[in-house]
Amino acid sequence: MNELHVASSARTELIDVTERVREAVSGCAGTLVTVFVPHTTAGVVVQAAGPGATAVAGDVAAALERVVDEDAPWEHVHEGDRNPWAHVRAALTASSVGIPLVDGELLLGEHQAIYLAEFDGPRGRTLLVTVT
């Protein structure tokens, strides 16, 4: 297992971690890479990137902010929670993704990238990367 540490710089953002995951699994034997985020206010997603898709991550983050309003009446603030919107945004993404591994290389599509989805930043996050 590899542990990747990622620092976010905004409350809500998608951070491309593809190259870091690629480096972590380079040359590994196995057929499946799992990227897991052990946080309840962050997620991990596979989304478009590269030429013609450079604005996708920002658009996804902005859409999640519009869909899940921070000023909505959140019940679990009465339990002392300071970031209820972040839990809901994380629930709309995933806590892990699986990517095929062939000959030690990630089998992502031409325009696909792996993103840490931050919903309660800025802060440090951990991603756990395993190969099976």
- pLDDT 10s digits, 4-35: 999 999 999 999 999 999 999 998 999 999 99
Q: How confident is the model at residue 81 (pLDDT cuts 50, 70, 90)?
A: confident
CB 123 within 8 A of CB 12: no
pLDDT in the model for residue 52: 92
Vertex 52, ends 114 and 121: CA angle to 5°? 40
Q: What is the pLDDT of residues 64-76, one digit of tens each?
A: 999 999 999 999 8
> Is a pLDDT exceeding 90 seen at residue 127?
yes
Name residues whose C-beta falls within 8 Å of residue 36's C-beta, 6 or more positions apart in sequence.
Answer: 44, 95, 96, 127, 128, 129, 130
26: Cβ contacts below 8 Å, ≥ 6 apart: 104, 105
Does position 107 have pLDDT exceeding 90, yes or no? yes
Structural domains in the chain?
A: 2-131 (2.60.120.460)
